[in-house]
Chain A
């Protein structure tokens, strides 16, 4: 493979990492409170509120039902408002974040649901506020599950980011489509696939290590 191709590959990898990293960070930051809300507004939980639970759940489901390639173009005005532009790597971060947030929120909700209700009762018996229960019991106790959820989400984002080429986002997927497919350069396609496999493996291994490290059960 030519020097030029390697440079293109490295550039595309950097773009993918930037998109996945930024969107992943936004999704974790926004998905955790959303996941907490989905859980604790549920029936019999510490902030039971049916209207909130139904609306939040419907919103999450709606975004998750929209195919990413459609979401990508459907929210262009919003993207322009937030990123200042509707094309490029920076612009792609907006739809990626919006797609990943409800996805990871559901996974976070499921992870925190696994926390023994007895621990919540114990905290209530100690006079804990709801915020204290969330911060000192639910999140720390679910930490291994939350990390596993974040890992799944990041790997999903790597896949989604391949579609970012549709709005000029660049990245490995875009490189594979433009050079490997449209210019008939199978060695570029192969290189892209290999790099993606290595990337996914690395993220998964890192995630597994963190999950193990924080599992105390």
Chain B
């Protein structure tokens, strides 16, 4: 549906040129929700604005539904843009128009007749749950309501692609969830392909199926959200994962363990729980089979795409060779285990 090939954008900087995007390639399938995550300054905004050519890429190709946008003349580009809806962080609604008239704007621009516009706008406001607010001006609406108007407006011309540029970043957490669920619902009902950029892991985790991680204009990794976040390849991705499933070990315990690397009679382990590992009674199995006493000291289990995902830190106490065997057993079953060190009896921090 959407294909970016070797997309590069260079801005003439004050001293040296600034590379905002460095040969970014990605493909978004029809009906997918594709998230692009990155810290501020990673190039996300430039990337999404290159998709509808609000920014002209320095080099590379943007293909939407097979059409190379850069090759189009102004008239054809304007027609192609009607197939790409866009939702903005700061809503960008016209303050002089009511909610109804804001949603009508793209239809007016597309040259539709007023008789066609009115029922379509009513239908769209219904879709986003704002039928009762049609006559209100943006200044009279809450942030969440404004973004609903923004979404209705973006969908007016029945686009094939919906671009969300930090669409929830100006909203409070509760409203963010409502707006994300609305986008996911629209994606299911209308089959529209969604590309969203964000700096929030929770946004990607909640609705995206695929994700690309962007840093300093480069794409670090991409793939199915679950795979990328359960097997992060880059430090940036790991830090995003830590934001949602992160927990910190008690500092004294971690210090003690790091002074005594390797396995001992009481070994501090971190076990990543993904898929199967999270569904099985792992702890009691280890305890029974390898005669270990397991003491969970920290942990968090969450969900990505409805699949369990998390990690536990525990102290395994028992015979060191039994602990080794247990670790081997877990690894054999593709469970990621990290030995953080051991805690000798005479150096155990006061609990």
Residues of B within 8 A of A123 (CB): 105, 109
Given A127-B78, A136-B105; A122-B92 close (CB under 8 Å): yes
Contact at B109–A126, with CB atoms within 8 Å? yes
Complex-state Cα separation, A121 to B90, whole angstroms: 12
Contact at A126–B106, with CB atoms within 8 Å? yes
Residues of A within 8 A of B (CB-CB), count:
21
Contact at A119–B94, with CB atoms within 8 Å? yes
Contact at A140–B96, with CB atoms within 8 Å? yes
Closest to A140 in B: B96
Contact at A126–B82, with CB atoms within 8 Å? yes
Contact at B88–A137, with CB atoms within 8 Å? no
Residues of B within 8 A of A106 (CB): none
Closest to A132 in B: B109
Residues of A within 8 A of B163 (CB): 125
Complex-state Cα separation, A122 to B94, whole angstroms: 10
User: Chain A 115-148, CB within 8 Å of chain B: the 1/0 string?
Assistant: 0101101111111110010001100110100000
- What are 18 of the A-B contact pairs (CB < 8 Å)? A118-B92, A119-B92, A122-B86, A122-B88, A122-B92, A123-B109, A124-B81, A125-B81, A125-B163, A126-B82, A127-B79, A136-B105, A136-B108, A140-B94, A141-B94, A141-B96, A214-B96, A216-B139
A217 contacts B by Cβ under 8 Å: yes
Residues of B within 8 A of A125 (CB): 52, 54, 81, 84-86, 163
Residues of B within 8 A of A216 (CB): 95-96, 137-139
Contact of B92 among A116, A127, A136, A140 (CB under 8 A): A116
Complex-state Cα separation, A216 to B98, whole angstroms: 9
Contact at A127–B94, with CB atoms within 8 Å? no
Contact of A140 among B85, B97, B137 (CB under 8 A): B97
Contact of A143 among B74, B84, B88, B96 (CB under 8 A): B96
Q: How far is the CB of A116 from chain B (nearest CB, A)?
A: 7
B110 contacts A by Cβ under 8 Å: yes
Residues of A within 8 A of B90 (CB): 118
Contact at A141–B54, with CB atoms within 8 Å? no
Name the 10 nearest CB pairs between A and B, nearest first: A127-B81, A127-B78, A122-B92, A125-B86, A118-B92, A126-B106, A127-B82, A216-B137, A140-B96, A128-B109
Contact at A124–B95, with CB atoms within 8 Å? no
Residues of B within 8 A of A116 (CB): 92
Q: How far is the CB of A139 from chain B (nearest CB, A)?
A: 9
Closest to A130 in B: B74
Q: How far is the CB of B47 from chain A (nearest CB, A)?
A: 15
Contact at A121–B97, with CB atoms within 8 Å? no
Contact at A127–B138, with CB atoms within 8 Å? no
Residues of B within 8 A of A121 (CB): 54, 88, 92
Contact at B109–A217, with CB atoms within 8 Å? no
Closest to B97 in A: A140
Q: How far is the CB of B324 from chain A (nearest CB, A)?
A: 59
Q: How far is the CB of B12 from chain A (nearest CB, A)?
A: 13
Q: How far is the CB of A33 from chain B (nearest CB, A)?
A: 20
Closest to A120 in B: B92
